[in-house]
């Protein structure tokens, strides 16, 4: 009887763990800057490099583990959901070869992902806000911080991703 090769090899688990640790440490180290963190960029890069499942694992684990350090609350579930939306959208647009070949396009996408993430985290608060007008006010008030996130993503993408582009392919997940 043939045996199927599992995707979850010790190497795969180690790489996902290391990248998750990089996200957690990055989020923790940048906590003094409002909404500026390397997590979104790393999740986008890993999703483009290894697919939607790996990107999803890193997104979920990064939020859960970093929230142990930074604090759990009603925002944790919307944060996970928002990152999963970013992962799925990254996977979808990652099918475009032009995006995969151009760092600057990926960086612009990471900027847009900062706003997308902020929208879905805000949307997760909707049930607590009491209605559509309150949600709109809440979301608009948060755009200031979403802008920090978006432009932080843009700048950090150009700093973080070139070295990761050299390192990550050596870490084959097979």
Dump pLDDT digits (tens) for 115-160. Answer: 999 999 999 988 888 889 999 999 999 999 999 999 999 999 999 9
Predicted TM-score (pTM) of this structure: 0.91
Residue 79 maps to a domain: yes
Residue 1 maps to a domain: no
Residue 5 maps to a domain: no
Residue 74 maps to a domain: yes
Full residue range of the structural domain in which residue 125 is found? 10-171
Whether the Cβ atoms of residue 34 and residue 145 lie closer than 8 Å to each other: yes
Six-digit token string for 160: 């973080």
**Which pLDDT band holds residue 8 (cuts at 50, 70, 90)?**
confident
Which of 7-11, 13-17, 74-78 has the weakest average pLDDT? 7-11
Residue 4 maps to a domain: no
Residue 130 maps to a domain: yes
The pLDDT of 27-38, averaged and rounded, is 91
Residue 2 maps to a domain: no
More confident residue, 40 or 98: 40
Strands (DSSP E) contained in the chain are: none
Residue 134 maps to a domain: yes
**What's the domain count of the chain?**
1
Whether the Cβ atoms of residue 30 and residue 38 lie closer than 8 Å to each other: yes
User: How far apart, in Å, are the Cα atoms of 20 and each of 41, 61, 168?
Assistant: 12, 7, 13
Q: Domain of 75: which CATH number?
A: 1.10.1760.20
CA distance 107 to 78: 24
């Amino acid at each position: 009887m043939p045996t199927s090769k599992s995707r979850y090899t010790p190497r795969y688990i180690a790489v996902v763990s290391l990248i998750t640790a990089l996200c957690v440490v990055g989020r923790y180290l940048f906590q003094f800057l409002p909404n500026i963190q390397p997590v979104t960029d790393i999740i986008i890069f890993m999703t483009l490099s290894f697919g939607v499942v790996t990107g999803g694992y890193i997104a979920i684990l990064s939020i859960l583990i970093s929230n142990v350090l930074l604090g759990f609350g009603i925002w944790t579930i919307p944060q996970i959901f928002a990152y999963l939306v970013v992962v799925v959208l990254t996977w979808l647009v990652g099918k475009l070869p032009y995006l995969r070949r151009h760092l600057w396009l990926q960086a612009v996408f990471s900027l847009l992902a900062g706003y997308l993430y902020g929208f879905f985290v805000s949307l997760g608060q909707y049930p607590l806000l009491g209605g559509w007008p309150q949600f709109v006010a809440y979301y608009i008030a948060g755009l200031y911080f979403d802008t920090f996130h978006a432009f932080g993503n843009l700048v950090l993408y150009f700093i973080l991703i070139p070295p990761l582009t050299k390192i990550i392919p050596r870490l084959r997940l097979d």
